[in-house]
Chains A and B, each alone.
Chain A
Amino acid sequence: MSKIIKIKKGLNIPMVGEAEKILNTTPRSSTYSVCPPDFHSLVPKMLIKEGEKVKAGSPLFFDKYNEKIIFTSPVSGVFSDLVRGEKRRIMKIVIEADNSDDYVNFGMANPADLSREEIINKLLHSGLWPAIRQRPYSIVANPDDKPKSIYISAFDTAPLGPDMDFILNGQENEFQTGLTALGKLTDGRVRLGVHSEKTLNDGFSNAKGVEIYRFSGPHPSGNVGIQIHHIDPINKGDIVWYVGVQHVIAIGRLFEKGIYDASKIIALAGSEVLNPRYYRVINGAKISDITGTNLRNEEDLNLRVISGDVLSGTKLSENDYLRFYDNIISVIPEGDKPEILGWIMPNFDKFSVSRSFPAFLMPWKKFRLNTNIRSGERPFVVTGLYEKVLPMDIMPMQLLKSIMINDIDMMEKLGIYEVSPEDFALCEYVCPSKIDIQDTIREGLDSIRHEFA
Chain B
Amino acid sequence: MKALINLVEKVKPNFEKGGRFEKLYRTFEAFETFLFVKGDTTRSGAHIRDAMDMKRTMVHVIIALIPPLLFGIWNVGFQHYKATGEEVAFLDQFLFGLIKVLPIIIVTYASGLAVEFIFASLRDHEVNEGFLVSGMLIPLVIPVTTPLWMVALATVFAVVIGKEVFGGTGMNILNPALLARAFLFFAYPSYLSGEVWIYTTLQEGQQLVDGFSGATALAVMAAGEGTMPSDFDMFFGFIPGSIGETSVVAILLGAFVLIATGIGSFRIMASVFIGGLVMGSILNIFAVNDFMAMPAYKHLIMGGFAFGAVYMATDPVSASQTGVGKYIYGLLIGVVTVLIRVVNPAYPEGMMLAILFMNVFAPLIDHYIVQANVKKRVKRMEKVRLQTQA
Contact = CB atoms under 8 A, between A and B. Distances in A.
A332 B46 CA distance: 12
Contacts of A415: 377
B376 A393 contact: yes
Interface stretch (B243-251, B300-308, B321-329, B341-349): B321-329
B46 A414 contact: no
A380 interface: yes
Most buried by A among B37, B44, B48, B260: B48
B380 A340 contact: no
Interface stretch (B95-103, B164-172, B272-280): B164-172
B51 interface: yes
B175 interface: no
Interface string B1-40: 1001100000000000000000000000000010111111
A45 interface: no
Contacts of A236: 381
B56 A428 contact: no
Interface string B34-62: 01111111111111111111111101100
Given A372-B39, A414-B373, A436-B44, A381 B57 contact: yes
B56 A344 contact: yes
B56 A439 contact: no
Given A342-B37, A379-B169, A393-B376, A369 B128 contact: no
Given A356-B60, A356-B263, A374 B46 contact: no
B7 to A, nearest CB: 12
Contacts of B55: 343-344, 375
Contacts of A351: 50-51
Nearest to B1: A340
Contacts of A230: none
A434 interface: yes
Given A343-B53, A356-B261, A381-B130, A438 B48 contact: no
Interface string B113-154: 000000000000010111000000000000000000000000
Given A235-B381, A339-B37, A414-B373, A438 B46 contact: yes
A374 B377 contact: no
A285 B59 CA distance: 47
B45 A370 contact: no
Contacts of B130: 381
A429 B370 contact: no
Interface stretch (A98-106, A212-220, A303-311): A303-311
B52 A312 contact: no
Interface residues of A, number: 76
A301 interface: no
Interface in B151-193: 167-171
Contacts of A383: 265, 316, 319, 321-322
Contacts of A258: none
B376 to A, nearest CB: 7
B374 interface: yes
A397 interface: yes
Contact of A375 (B33, B261, B265, B319): B33
Interface string A367-400: 0011111111111111110010000011101100
Given A356-B60, A384-B265, A414 B49 contact: no
Most buried by A among B42, B378, B380, B384: B42
A438 B46 CA distance: 8
B261 A378 contact: no
B66 interface: no
Given A375-B53, A378-B169, A395 B322 contact: yes
A34 interface: no
B262 interface: yes
Given A357-B51, A378-B169, A433-B54, A338 B41 contact: no
A430 B52 CA distance: 8
A421 interface: yes
A314 B56 CA distance: 29
Nearest to B4: A340
B293 interface: no
B317 interface: yes
A336 interface: yes
A335 B169 CA distance: 27
A336 to B, nearest CB: 4
Interface string A292-330: 000000000000101000111111000000000000001
Contacts of B44: 314-315, 436, 438-439
Contacts of B43: 315
Nearest to B54: A378
A406 interface: no
Nearest to B56: A343
A334 B374 contact: no
Given A310-B47, A395-B370, A428-B46, A374 B53 contact: yes
B230 to A, nearest CB: 36
B261 A372 contact: no
Nearest to B326: A384
Contacts of A382: 57, 263, 316
Nearest to B167: A379
4 nearest CB pairs, A to B: A379-B170, A342-B37, A350-B51, A375-B53
Given A310-B46, A372-B42, A381-B130, 17 more contacts: A236-B381, A304-B47, A335-B39, A337-B39, A343-B55, A344-B59, A355-B261, A379-B168, A379-B171, A382-B57, A383-B321, A384-B321, A413-B378, A421-B45, A429-B48, A432-B50, A434-B53
11 contacts: A312-B45, A332-B48, A347-B51, A356-B263, A373-B42, A376-B40, A381-B54, A381-B169, A383-B265, A383-B319, A431-B49
